[in-house]
Structure 1
Amino acid sequence: MSVLHEGSEPPRHRGPVRAPQSLAGGLLLIALAALALWLTQDLDQGTLNAMGPAMLPRWLAIGVGLSGLALLAAAFLKNGDLLERWSLRGPVFVIGAILAFAVTIRPFSFGGGLTTPGLGLLVAGPLAIILGGFATPEARLRDLVILALSLTPFCMVLFGDLLNLPIPVFPQALTGLFPADWSQKAVLRATAAIMAAVAILVFLTTRNRRRAPVDVADHSGRI
């Protein structure tokens, strides 16, 4: 990998494309945005007072698409990096996390009588966060568990309580663990509070563990 010295500029590229890496990234983001808009075209967007299931993913897709257009413009206006070799680890774990979320949040039939139980956001959320986190080789299970137990209850309260979106939050069998006179939202809030408390407990009980030292020295003999 080349190293730019102080005061030097990125290498200039021939042709109209001055930043191939930005061009590829912009095209990928635009493709993802177009796919999301196509998949949500039959969903109701609703209003700000009564948000529908398509509002959040649709506007996120628009934001991603605009970011892709900005990268495309930068690819022709500003010098940037060439495309580099990339590993399959990232895409495999990210796609795996998305698929795991899809087949666990609601009952999913594979055909032939094989159907997964609907576990709701309570299980699908942490599972997707932990799997997606391993897309980087620097991932640590402790940090991913704390993130999953912290982010999932936030999403549960946001989507299931505040926005009243029709997203399955927890298995129906879980309601039997709480008093019969509790409403569904009361069970949701209690579950979210328990998960947040577990996240704090995991953080406090594991924060004093020493991390393995990371060797960052260059042993290649090059300067």
Structure 2
Amino acid sequence: MSASHEGSGAASRHGPVRAPQSLAGGLFLLFLAALALWLTKDLDQGTLNAMGPAMLPRWLAFGVGLSGLALLVFAFIKDGEPLERWSIRGPFFIISAILAFGVTIRGYAFGDLAVPGLGLMVAGPLAILIGGFATPEARFRDLVILSLSLTPFCMVLFGDGALLNLPIPLFPRALAELFPADWSQNAILRTVAAVMAVLAALVSVTTRGRRTTTIDVADHDGRI
């Protein structure tokens, strides 16, 4: 009797698709890759020695597209999970993080509403903090440490003249005016990055051993 029940699940799956989740995920990744390639079509890619603004997102789009194709292939040749009820929590916070990053890094104006350009120094941690709550296991302390550690690394990697030196806003203009006038942008950048890294270490050390609580803004069904 039990054997008939076990076989009924496999037999109920008709058609060539053996992994509906992989099929849906592959199609979504292909859509993201196509969207990224379309949005960067007018940007200069540059070379490895002088990277343009389109190189990183364009090659990431190629990688995402290849992953989507791989999922599509596995959907037809390997058994996988069926489609399940999905939560809006993850997409809500991830999309919110992307929008917050886009609005704050260069500034945004819509009618009377104007957001000043705050650079990667602010946009990076903001996106990490918001995007981190896509999971119900999010811990504010861990997100703060991650944002203060990852952001200065990205600032130096992308903005330092000795490294990639991409034309990305790094910090608010008002902050740069606080430093001596004879300081170069690289000197200001390295100082700001060092301060953020030290803050990350201080938060980690001073909060170590304290009881960390999970901040959850959704119920167990994933509704916000």
* TM-score normalised over the length of structure 2: 0.88
Inter-partner Cα distance in structure 1 for 2:10 and 2:131: 34
User: What corresponds to 2:153 in structure 1?
Assistant: 154
User: What corresponds to 2:218 in structure 1?
Assistant: none
Distance 1:185 1:212, change over 3 A: closer
User: What corresponds to 1:57 in structure 2?
Assistant: 57
Are the aligned partners of 1:107 and 1:118 in contact in 2 as well (CA < 8 Å)? yes
Q: Superposition pairs for residues 70-219 of structure 1, below 5 Å?
A: 70-111=70-111, 113-161=112-160, 162-211=163-212
User: What corresponds to 1:3 in structure 2?
Assistant: none
Please state how far the C-alpha of 1:95 moved relative to its aligned partner.
0.4
Inter-partner Cα distance in structure 2 for 1:157 and 1:21: 39
Matching residue's letter, 2:98? I
Inter-partner Cα distance in structure 2 for 1:187 and 1:212: 36
User: What corresponds to 2:38 in structure 1?
Assistant: 38
Q: Which has the higher contact order (CA 8 A, sep 6+)?
A: 2
Q: Tell me the number of residue pairs that the alignment of Structure 1 and Structure 2 aligns.
A: 204
Counterpart secondary structure, 1:109: strand
Are the aligned partners of 1:11 and 1:79 in contact in 2 as well (CA < 8 Å)? no
Structure 1 runs, 4 residues or longer, greater than 4 Å off: none
Inter-partner Cα distance in structure 1 for 2:204 and 2:41: 41
Inter-partner Cα distance in structure 1 for 2:180 and 2:200: 24
User: What corresponds to 2:220 in structure 1?
Assistant: none
Please state how far the C-alpha of 1:212 moved relative to its aligned partner.
5.1
Please state how far the C-alpha of 1:187 moved relative to its aligned partner.
0.2
Counterpart secondary structure, 1:16: coil
Inter-partner Cα distance in structure 2 for 1:11 and 1:101: 45
Q: Which runs of 5+ in 1 are unaligned?
A: 1-7, 214-223
Are the aligned partners of 2:129 and 2:143 in contact in 1 as well (CA < 8 Å)? yes
Are the aligned partners of 1:129 and 1:144 in contact in 2 as well (CA < 8 Å)? yes
Are the aligned partners of 2:141 and 2:212 in contact in 1 as well (CA < 8 Å)? no
Q: Which runs of 5+ in 2 are unaligned?
A: 1-6, 215-224
Matching residue's letter, 2:156? V
Matching residue's letter, 1:63? G
Are the aligned partners of 2:125 and 2:151 in contact in 1 as well (CA < 8 Å)? yes
Counterpart secondary structure, 2:37: helix
Percent identity of paired positions between Structure 1 and Structure 2: 75
Counterpart secondary structure, 1:152: helix
Inter-partner Cα distance in structure 2 for 1:56 and 1:206: 36
Inter-partner Cα distance in structure 2 for 1:101 and 1:128: 6
Distance 1:22 1:104, change over 3 A: same
Please state how far the C-alpha of 1:176 moved relative to its aligned partner.
2.2
| Aligned CA-pair RMSD | 1.5
Spell out, residue by residue over 1:72-130, the C-alpha distance to the aligned partner (whole angstroms, 9 max, x if none): 0000000000011111111010000000001100121112x321100000100000000
Are the aligned partners of 2:139 and 2:212 in contact in 1 as well (CA < 8 Å)? no
Are the aligned partners of 1:37 and 1:58 in contact in 2 as well (CA < 8 Å)? yes
Please state how far the C-alpha of 1:207 moved relative to its aligned partner.
1.2
Matching residue's letter, 2:128? I
